């Protein structure tokens, strides 16, 4: 549990501050509620809290070194975002996602990413956004060409992939669309189920998708960009289903 380190000793720090002045810890948010919310959110997404696990206020309050108030506020916010389930008088639980739920999340995301790609094509991308995409494409190519591909870190590919998609989200120029996209991806990677295939061929195919999508966007062909993007994300869904059925 790394997420509680930052807040744990805040009480002590504040006493020190009162004694020696300044030196407020920078990496914390402006308020306890904000930093608590961030700590809990990333903790949930990182899997530090298991799906279905109960979020006890006093427990969290002690672990994070704050009173129950900011904890309660953070829990309410995360419940509003859909990360937690709440039953009155019975507390908060980490939302559980079935395999079916995760597949559906990909379907929703596919539709939304398609929309984003269409808007990016219609509105055009800024120079900075294009640079990010081109960087992601060339880095992806390098990754594919590397001699010991199989030993590569999955997280590297994840970062490259994420950069590509984020740039398009940003280019959609729509806060609402970005919010929906973020929410459709806010699912804890449940142990085995949410793991995307990482064979050389899979990555190669997805990178080719990225090239074609970017091309369509540059050509300002919104319809084609949407179609390609939707198919791209759906293909991840398919490969996920394949992995699952193979496990069974």
- CA nearest neighbour of 212 among 222, 225, 203: 225
Q: Using CB distances below 5 to 8 A depending on partner kind, what does residue 70 bind out of a copy of itself, DNA, none?
A: DNA
Name the residue nearer to DNA (CB basis): 68 or 220: 68
Q: Using CB distances below 5 to 8 A depending on partner kind, what does residue 55 bind out of a copy of itself, DNA, none?
A: DNA
Among 27, 89, 150, 151, binds DNA (CB under 7 A): 89
Give the contact letters, 132-171, x = binds to DNA (CB under 7 A), - = no: ----------------------------------------
Separation CA 102–CA 190 (nearest Å): 9
Structure tokens at 52: 């279905």
> Judged by CB under 8 A, which stretch of 15-23, 25-33, 55-63, 214-222 contacts a copy of itself?
25-33
> Judged by CB under 8 A, which stretch of 29-37, 52-60, 208-216, 232-240 contacts a copy of itself?
29-37
Residues in contact with a copy of itself by CB under 8 A are: 29-31, 33-34, 72-73, 76-82, 88-89, 101, 104-105, 107-108, 111-112, 114-115, 174-177, 179-180, 183-184
Residues in contact with DNA by CB under 7 A are: 11, 14, 30-33, 54-58, 66-70, 72-73, 86, 88-92
């Amino acid at each position: 549990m790394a997420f509680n380190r930052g807040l744990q000793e805040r009480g002590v720090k504040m006493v020190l501050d009162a004694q020696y002045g300044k030196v407020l810890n920078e990496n914390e948010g402006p308020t306890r509620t904000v930093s608590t919310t961030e700590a809990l959110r990333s903790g949930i997404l990182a899997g530090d809290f298991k799906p279905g696990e109960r979020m006890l206020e006093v427990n969290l309050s002690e672990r994070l070194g704050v009173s129950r108030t900011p904890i309660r506020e953070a829990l309410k916010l995360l419940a509003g975002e859909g990360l937690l389930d709440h039953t009155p008088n019975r507390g908060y639980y980490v939302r559980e996602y079935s395999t079916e739920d995760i597949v559906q999340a990909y379907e929703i995301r596919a539709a939304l990413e398609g929309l984003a790609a269409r808007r990016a094509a219609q509105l055009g991308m800024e120079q900075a956004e294009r640079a990010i995409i081109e960087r992601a494409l060339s880095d992806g190519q390098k990754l594919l060409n590397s001699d010991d591909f199989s030993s590569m870190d999955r997280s590297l590919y994840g970062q490259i992939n994420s950069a590509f998609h984020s740039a398009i989200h940003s280019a959609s120029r729509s806060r609402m669309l970005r919010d929906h996209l973020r929410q459709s991806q806010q699912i804890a990677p449940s142990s085995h189920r949410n793991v995307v295939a990482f064979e050389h061929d899979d990555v190669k195919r997805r990178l080719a998708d990225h090239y074609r999508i970017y091309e369509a966007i540059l050509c300002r062909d919104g319809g084609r960009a949407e179609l390609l993007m939707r198919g791209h994300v759906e293909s991840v869904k398919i490969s996920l289903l394949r992995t699952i059925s193979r496990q069974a």
